[in-house]
Amino acid sequence: MTRDSGTKPAAVSAQFDAVVVGAGFSGLYMLYQLRQLGMSAKGFDAAADVGGTWYWNRYPGARCDIPTTDYAYSFDPELEKEWIWSEKYATQPEILDYLRLAADRHGLRSDIEFSTTVTSAHWDEGENRWKITTDRGNEIWCRYYIMASGCLSIPKSAEIEGAGQFAGQVYFTSQWPHEGVDFTGQRVAVIGTGSSGIQSIPLIARQASQLTVFQRTPNFSIPAHNGPAPAERLVQLSDDRDGYRHAARWSRGGIPAEPTDVLGVTASEDVRRERFEAAWDQGELFGILGVFADQGVNPDSNDIVAGMIREKIRLAVDDPETAEALCPKDHYFGTKRPCLDTGYFETYNLPHVRLVDLRKQPIIRITEEGIDTADQSFEFDAIVYATGFDAMTGALAAVDVTGRGGLSLTEKWAPGPSTYLGLMTAGFPNLFMITGPGSPSVLSNMTVSIEQHVDWVAGCLRDMRDAGFDTIEPTALAESGWDEHVRDCAAITLHPTASSWYMGANVPGKPRVFLPYIGGVNAYRQACDDVVSQGYLGFRRTGRGGDQCRDGVIRSMQPDVAMVLEIMAGLGLPPMETLSAGDARALMAAAAAIRPPGPEVAEVTDGVMPGPGGDLPYRLYRPAAADQGPHPIVVYFHGGGWVLGDLDSDDPLCRDLCARSGAVVVSVNYRHAPEARFPAAAQDAFTAVQWVDANTVSLGGIPGQLAVAGWSAGGNIATVACHLARDAGGPRIAGQLLINPVVESEMMRPSYAENGDGYILTTALMRWFWDHYADPAERGDPRAAPLLGNLADLPSACIVTADFDPLRDEGVAYARALDAAGVPVRHVRARGHTHTSLTMVGIVISGAPVRAQMAGALADFFPAPVTGAVSNSSIG
């Protein structure tokens, strides 16, 4: 960022406890907290005054897009009382005045060198200190180097040929002249239709004689309905300010809100319309982003909201062609930052305003007179660039930072940023980032996130001082674990599909990585707190206090799995093992009745087959296939500990396996314990396989292409059926897909100790299942514990194990034992999953890639390519 001209002389070498880069919301509060700790600190900012973003972005119409009731500090009750925001969304000058007041109230300016850019920061391993240099020749030594340099502070260059040729006036929204600009009578071009363009265009249009907007990507925008601060929020604040701020801190986005559980895909048309219109009238980003609980993850739900916004655009814009060009269609709503506007779309109805759709006629070059597109030459008096920022990493990379062993930050981050909690990065001791990549930052109310970060850093420095530590640095394991968690959180949303600045996609050559943490302000805060309460898990701290390293990963469960567990814990259901078998079955049936149905398949028919103890009900799923088959057949056995479950319980999973693999799935409802104990279920399973084999052709199967599959206890009897078929000399089974199978009864492996409580399938429940199914003396029988049997000559296997499953280690042991016995085995690790989560089709989105692997394994069991498989991406 260009430095403001200033008159300060170069400072000499100095020592401080901390150097803080940036004097916006985060830098000011960081300086305040350092003072509270009694630490010496020096702040630097390239600007001539405080304000950060709000110092630079002075373009007409610049406002915050979070209601000002919430876009404010909460640490200073007096400031909260003294300052009354004049509008729902304050203008840039008002926010800047607010920050000036905050700085003055605490006398922070005296700690800040303005008009000074930090150019380098090098960690000195001998001194255990950072050496900081500035463009004014300052050399400062400090223990802690804190980058509070903002997420959107390095403007992105225009990347348009000839940009330097233009002879008229050139403006960047991000570096607007302090004296303002009068466009009266001028022919003006605006390039860019992000928030800055959308906010400024209606005001520039009021002055310009001609305004031409060059749009590359249309953006979703909703009316801000600006005016007085929302009365409802003001009342809540005045009634209980502390409670309100607390609710904000523990909310998903940093603003108190009651999350909805209404799903767009299942809501009635009336409910959809009513919820959308309410959000539209409210004019708040988090409102329109939360019309439906599933709009951020489900394309169909997202399309409902997006479609309604497009309707509004078409209503607002008179010229149908212009309206269509303004309708965003290339990204899901919310995956690029949506905008709040005042009369943006209506501006295009003015006779002197014109939209140029760069998708139809791209800019070829900027000329001395104006802009040449593929179709036309335009002449202008002024060009306004509203082309955005090198977001989130730009300001961090703008400083030449080297850490331990001369490691350069930009080199370390060449494949994309890597952080622990978005706060620190391994190899760079005592370097803190406020709202860094991997933190909620730009997806949240920044002020709430900033206060949380600063408070965490201040607490960390205090704890270090108290314990006699001088350095702190994340471990490589903790950092890669957090990076993975950040990716997992993003992967279940639609966000990674967009070419957004959240993905680094707006800057040529920048790696495509989803930069912020989308798990929520509340979840993030909890993770940060948990790190501290676990003795700074994932950090190494050194100093007089010793050398302490608590290595580990703070979050390794898939985020949607964790969410389901949290919801289930909140339901207060009785533990299954305290119920009778009948009551437990009723509870399972009630849960099954309210879940998503799973994908469509071509045909679902119920039937019965003869079994050793009477008829066995089955359900057949036939895949959609152009040639109508025949198909390979998979005989599937449901889970439920031999006690629970039926044809309905695993119905969504069977549909999913059928649709993905292109095989017919025959799900068998075998006899259950305690009514029919061991070995009834295993006998039924073998009989079912024999019957399906004998009836392959009439069931629509391909002779010789038969596999078995099962989940949990179903996995147990599926593999036992393989043992029995081998021993009986048939039928020939091509493969066995065993999903979290039970293969022994000991319950002694480490996964029982790690996961035996709290993840739905508990040790107590497993014991209850075994007690219902088999006598202790029977449990060593290979038909109950197949791991103990002869494993030679069994069919090829795919064994799926889940990290948070008590059965994990026996599944792994079975895979190893099969391998040792010469059976081809594929082991699929369901990272971050529980025993039950893979079966939650349409609920646990992170299970979809694992189910895709399962279906792939099924397809691989059969010699010929399977017809009728649908693409994995089309199934949730």
Nearer to ligand NA7, 143 or 337 (CB): 337
Cβ 240 to ligand NA7, closest distance in Å?
Answer: 29
- Before 632, cis peptide (omega within 30)? no
3-state secondary structure 386-419: CCCECCCCHHHHCCEEECHHHCEHHHHCCCCCCC
- Determine if 386 is a binding residue for ligand NA7 (CB under 6 A): yes
- Determine if 197 is a binding residue for ligand NA7 (CB under 6 A): yes
Cβ 503 to ligand NA7, closest distance in Å?
Answer: 11
Three-state SS at 444: coil
Cβ 470 to ligand NA7, closest distance in Å?
Answer: 37
> Contact at 8 Å (CB) between 194 and 337?
yes
In whole angstroms, what is the distance from residue 187 CA to residue 383 CA? 9
In whole angstroms, what is the distance from residue 827 CA to residue 813 CA? 11
Nearer to ligand NA7, 213 or 291 (CB): 213
Site string for ligand NA7, 212-251 (x = CB under 6 A): --x-xx----------------------------------
Total of residues contacting ligand NA7 (CB under 6 A): 23
Nearer to ligand NA7, 392 or 869 (CB): 392
Residue nearest to ligand NA7 (CB): 194
Cβ 649 to ligand NA7, closest distance in Å?
Answer: 45
Cβ neighbours around 172 below 10 Å, total: 22
* Member of 152, 229, 248, 743 binding ligand NA7 (CB under 6 A): 152
Three-state SS at 139: strand
Torsion of the alpha carbons at 53, 54, 60 and 66, rounded to the nearest 10: 90
Three-state SS at 521: helix
Close Cβ partners of 515 (under 8 Å, ≥ 6 residues apart)? 391, 392, 393, 417, 437, 438, 442, 502, 503, 504
Site string for ligand NA7, 157-196 (x = CB under 6 A): -xxx------------x-----------------xxxxxx
Nearer to ligand NA7, 339 or 844 (CB): 339
DSSP one-letter code for 146: E
Q: Which stretch binds ligand NA7 (CB under 6 A): 86-94, 209-217, 562-570, 867-875?
A: 209-217
In whole angstroms, what is the distance from residue 622 CA to residue 599 CA? 12
Nearer to ligand NA7, 197 or 662 (CB): 197
DSSP one-letter code for 351: T
Which positions from 329 through 358 interact with ligand NA7, judged by CB under 6 A?
337, 358
- Determine if 314 is a binding residue for ligand NA7 (CB under 6 A): no
Three-state SS at 128: coil
In whole angstroms, what is the distance from residue 644 CA to residue 570 CA? 23
In whole angstroms, what is the distance from residue 297 CA to residue 234 CA? 32
Cβ 57 to ligand NA7, closest distance in Å?
Answer: 8
DSSP one-letter code for 581: H
* Member of 430, 452, 493, 506 binding ligand NA7 (CB under 6 A): 506
Cβ 663 to ligand NA7, closest distance in Å?
Answer: 43
Cβ 446 to ligand NA7, closest distance in Å?
Answer: 9
Cβ 214 to ligand NA7, closest distance in Å?
Answer: 6
Cβ 501 to ligand NA7, closest distance in Å?
Answer: 5
Nearer to ligand NA7, 385 or 636 (CB): 385
- Determine if 501 is a binding residue for ligand NA7 (CB under 6 A): yes
Closest CA to 689 of 662, 660, 718: 718
Distance of CA 89 to the CA centre of its chain: 27
Parallel, antiparallel or unpaired: strands 664-668 and 631-637: parallel
Cβ 64 to ligand NA7, closest distance in Å?
Answer: 9
DSSP one-letter code for 591: H
Backbone angles phi, psi at 372, to 5 degrees: -100, 125
Q: Which stretch binds ligand NA7 (CB under 6 A): 18-26, 273-281, 383-391, 507-515?
A: 383-391
Nearer to ligand NA7, 152 or 734 (CB): 152
Cβ 322 to ligand NA7, closest distance in Å?
Answer: 16
Nearer to ligand NA7, 337 or 655 (CB): 337
- Determine if 388 is a binding residue for ligand NA7 (CB under 6 A): yes
Q: Is 581 exposed, middle or buried (CB count within 10 Å of its CB: 0-12, 13-18, 19+)?
A: middle
Nearer to ligand NA7, 131 or 156 (CB): 156
In whole angstroms, what is the distance from residue 444 CA to residue 448 CA? 8
Positions that interact with ligand NA7 (CB under 6 A):
152, 158-160, 173, 191-197, 214, 216-217, 337, 358, 386-389, 501, 506
